A and B are shown apart, each in its own frame.
Chain A
Amino acid sequence: MSEPFEPKITAFVCTYCTYAGADLAGTSRLKYAPNVRIIRLPCTGRISPMFILKALQKGADGILISGCHPGDCHFTHGNYHARRRWMVFRALLSFTGIPEERIKYSWISAAEGLKFADLINNITEDIRKLGPFDQYHKLIEETQAQASL
C-alpha cells in the first residue's frame, strides 16, 4: 500500500495580520492541519508572483496567500496593490491551466486565530480532494531526468 496523499501547501503571509493570526491560533491551542509551511513577509504587497512560481517549482500542491483585511494594512495600502496583482495573476494561471482551486487567497487579521485554523483545515481538505498536482510534478520530474534524445 502506498502512503495516503498528504498535500504540501505553502503559505505566504504578512507578518502584521495573518502571521499574528496564526500565532493566536497557536497560543489559543487550536489544532490545525500540519500540511502548511508558512513563509512570513512584511506585507502582502511584498508577495511577488515569483514566490508562487517558486513554490510550484519546489513541488507544492497548493498555495495560500494571506494578509490584512482591506483598510488594515500596516503600510496603508500594500494589500490593495496585492489584490489587483492577484486578480490578474490568478486569471493568467487559470488560462495556462493551473487550477484556481490550488491557489487560495484570504484576509485574516491578528484577531482571527480561529479563522486561520479553520481556513488551514479547509484548504488542506480541498487540496487533498484535488490530489497531488501531478501535471506540474511531471514537469519537475522531467527536469531531473536524462536528456530525452
Chain B
Amino acid sequence: MSIEQQYRTRAKELLSAGEVKMVIGYGAGTTAERRRPIFITSPDETERLVLDSACIANLSGYLVTEGLLSDEKRVAVFLRPEGIRALNVLAAEAQLDPLQVVIIGFDLPKGELKSLQGSSVDDFTDLLGALKESTPDVDGRELLEKIEKMSPEERFAFWQEEFSKCIKCYACRQACPMCYCRRCIVDSNQPQWVNTSSHTLGNFEWNIVRAFHLSGRCVECGNCDRACPVNIPLRLINRKMAQEVLDSFNHFAGTSKTQEPVLASFKKDDSETFIL
C-alpha cells in the first residue's frame, strides 16, 4: 500500500474512532503541481487527502488558529520534520498543548516521499536531534556564500534591491507558523517603531524586524520564502540567523517541547568579544 493510502486509512481511523476532530492535510490544488491545505472532519472525506513530493507547505501554523484547540479535542496534522520542530517551538512558547496534536509525519529527502514513525512530538526527539547535527540542505547556498563574502556596502546594495521589491503584503508573516503575535509590531502605532509605508526604508525595517524576531525560532520550513509574491530570498536570512544561533549558543530551534527560547535565556559565559 502506498504511503498516501496508508495515511488516508490512518486519518480515517483517527476520525472514525473520534480520536481527533479534524485532520489538517494536503489536497489537490488548482494545477497538477499544486497542493493546498485541506481540513477534513468526516471519515468519508479522507479520500481527498493527497500526499506526494509536492506537499511541501508547513501546515503547523493552522494549529494556532483562534479557537481551534480551545475545546481540548485533538487535531491530526501532516507534518514534515520542520513542521514537527515548529510544533515544538509553539509548545515551548506555550501557544498550544502538544498533546492535543496527533502528528502524521512524513519527509521528502531529495523529493522522495518517506513516512515517519510516531504520532506525538516526543516520538520524534531522536530524529530532530540528528537533524541538528546534519548539514542542512539549503536551496541557494551558493548565493548565501556569495553574500557573506561581499563587502558591507555590496551586501547593503544587494538587500536594498531585494527589499525595494517588497510590497508589504505580509504574506511572509501570515504564512509563518512562528508569526502568531496577536498584534504585530508593524501594526502597533503607539509608538510607531517601524514605518508602515512600503518604501525601501520601510521594507528594510520590516524585514529586519521580522528576521530578528524569528532568530532562534525559525525552523526553516520555507513557508515565507514560497509565499513571497515578489520572490525575495527570505530563506537566506533565516538560514544565516539559524547558523548564527547554532554557532553562538548551540541552539537548534524546536528539538523539544520544553526547549528554552534562545533569546529569553542566557549563560553567564556567553561570548562577548564585540563588547568594548
Interchain CA distance A18-B78 in the complex, whole Å: 52
In this complex, the member of B195, B215, B267 whose beta carbon has the largest number of chain A beta carbons within 10 angstroms is B215
Interchain CA distance A19-B199 in the complex, whole Å: 36
Are B274's CB and A88's CB within 8 A? no
B108 close to A (CB within 8 Å): no
Contact partners of A107 in chain B: CB under 8 A: 275-276
B123 close to A (CB within 8 Å): no
Are B249's CB and A50's CB within 8 A? no
B248 close to A (CB within 8 Å): yes
Which residues in window 251-269 of B have CB below 8 A to A? 262-268
B233 close to A (CB within 8 Å): no
Q: Tell me the smallest distance from the CB of A57 to a CB of chain B, in Å.
A: 7
Are A104's CB and B159's CB within 8 A? no
Interface size of B as a range? 35 or more
- Select A97's contact among B157, B193, B265, beta carbons within 8 Å: B157
Are B244's CB and A88's CB within 8 A? yes
0/1 per residue, B116-144, Cβ < 8 Å to A?
Answer: 00000000000000000000000000000
Are A135's CB and B266's CB within 8 A? no
Contact partners of A37 in chain B: CB under 8 A: none
Are A143's CB and B271's CB within 8 A? no
Are A57's CB and B266's CB within 8 A? no
Contact partners of B271 in chain A: CB under 8 A: 87
B270 close to A (CB within 8 Å): yes
Q: Tell me the smallest distance from the CB of A81 to a CB of chain B, in Å.
A: 6
Q: Is the interface of B mostly helix, strand, loop or mixed?
A: helix
Q: Is the interface of A mostly helix, strand, loop or mixed?
A: helix
Contact partners of B201 in chain A: CB under 8 A: 57, 139-140, 142-143
B171 close to A (CB within 8 Å): no
Are B153's CB and A135's CB within 8 A? yes
B155 close to A (CB within 8 Å): yes
Closest to B192 in A: A54
B68 close to A (CB within 8 Å): no
Which residues in window 18-69 of A have CB below 8 A to B? 48-50, 53-54, 57
Interchain CA distance A81-B130 in the complex, whole Å: 28
Are A135's CB and B262's CB within 8 A? no
B197 close to A (CB within 8 Å): yes
Interchain CA distance A107-B273 in the complex, whole Å: 12
Given A81-B266, A83-B270, A88-B241, A96 and B248 contact (CB-CB distance below 8 Å): no
User: Can you list 25 A-B pairs with a CB-CB distance of less than 8 A?
Assistant: A49-B209, A50-B194, A57-B195, A80-B266, A80-B268, A83-B270, A84-B266, A87-B270, A88-B212, A88-B244, A91-B240, A92-B211, A92-B212, A94-B155, A95-B148, A95-B237, A96-B159, A96-B208, A97-B159, A107-B276, A135-B153, A139-B160, A139-B200, A142-B201, A143-B197
Q: Report B's interface with A, CB cutoff 8 A.
A: 147-148, 150, 152-160, 185, 193-195, 197, 199-202, 204-205, 207-209, 211-212, 215-216, 237, 240-241, 244-245, 248-249, 262-268, 270-272, 274-276
